[in-house]
Amino acid sequence: MRFRWPILCLALAASLWVFPAQALKYRIQDLGTIQGGVNESILPLAVNNLGTVVGNSIYDPGATRQGSFIYENGSIRPLRATGHWYDAYSATDVNDQGVAVGTYYDRRTKLYRTVMYRDGAVIDVGRAAGGSRNPPFVHINNAGTVVGRDDAGSFIYDGTVSRELKIDALDEPFSVLALNDRGVMAGWSRRAGYFLYDGMTVSPLPRVSERPTTFTVVDLNNENQLLASATIQGSDGQIRSGYVIYDDGRYRPLNPSGSIRGALTARAFNDQGAVVGLKFVGPNRDRAHAIVWRDGTTRDLNDFMAPDPSGATWELIDAWDINERGQIVGIGRLGDVTNARGFIATPVPEPGGWALLLAGLGVLGWKARRAGPARS
């Protein structure tokens, strides 16, 4: 009989999210450094479902060099080493196969290129001839599909060449804004406005408000829920800047009463609807703390750190991404180190929570026995 490990692992990961807040802590792990010097900052930007992290390493006095890195199996290494001061590589997304995408910026020409990091090679996947004057957007999903946007417009990379990304139903150029693992895209065009496209149907998004608003897509999860920043109306009737989640034809604000401008920044969310980012704290709101938002409650990650056996002390400043296991990556201050250090936070239940977990696994085992052996 073949044991369904993938199903069990997903159930185990999902079960962590049903623990009460007081039973859930995060084990914080330092991503380390590449250059090993004090003048290096590690900025993680994306994490896949296996815990592989990609991002940027900024080093040398004055932050004159920037390279891309990958963190996997407990160690960090460069994706692309920076050989000259004018080379600036970035890695902004990674799929579960460990293929990453990002950008390269040449400070001499002041042009960007869109790149893919695969099997030790750096591959140019953009369409703009000679480069793009504006920072490109690029995303890769678990099917290996790469979509992006540069000065030549929206494009898709088929593994060999990049070509213009078209939607026949629109009959006009559009900007691709996000892509999920189901192949659903978020985009914008002049006539259609903001929309979701599933490969067959263009579904326009309703307006957040009848009044003129700003709207910026932040992330799209595999439930086809959309996270966006928008101008929204609070319960007091005032128009404020905040974040909304679009789900099944409706918008719901992260904070029903509205958010004070600049008090909260949302960066990503997962299929369970957990949002990560930062909020400003203190009497003068002059210090940033990493946060996770779920079910209407914003939690400061600094209040949910598990004790570190080594005695390391962290102040978690910003959270950039979250995967389906609930792992969060971001930056913080580690001890007396002044430069930003990258971290990965893994949710772990406290001793009282293990009883819930074991009970859940017992139910899974009972159901497996009831279902009988799997057919080969």
DSSP-derived secondary structure for 157-179: E-SS-EEE---TTT-S--EEEEE
Please name the residue that has the structure tokens 């401008």. 261
> Is residue 222 a part of any domain in this protein?
no
> Is residue 336 a part of any domain in this protein?
yes
Alpha carbon distance 59, 39 (integer Å): 5
Q: Evaluate if residue 358 carries a pLDDT over 90.
A: no
Domain range for 308 is 1-38+262-376
Structure tokens, 219: 């992330």
Q: What are 88-110's pLDDT values in tens digits? A: 899 999 999 999 999 998 888 89
Q: Evaluate if residue 67 carries a pLDDT over 90.
A: no
53-92 per-residue burial string, b: 16 or more CB within 10 A, e: under 16: bbbbbbbeeeeebbbbbbbeeeebeebbebeeeebbbbbb
Q: For 304, which DSSP code? A: G
For the chain, what is the domain count?
1
> Is residue 73 a part of any domain in this protein?
no
> Is residue 187 a part of any domain in this protein?
no
pLDDT reported for residue 263: 72
> Is residue 375 a part of any domain in this protein?
yes
> Is residue 305 a part of any domain in this protein?
yes
pLDDT reported for residue 48: 98
> Is residue 118 a part of any domain in this protein?
no
Residues 265 and 255: beta-carbon distance below 8 Å: no
> Is residue 291 a part of any domain in this protein?
yes
Choose the most confident range, by mean pLDDT, from 8-22, 118-132, 188-202, 222-236. 188-202
How many other β-carbons are positioned within 10 Å of the β-carbon of residue 2?
8
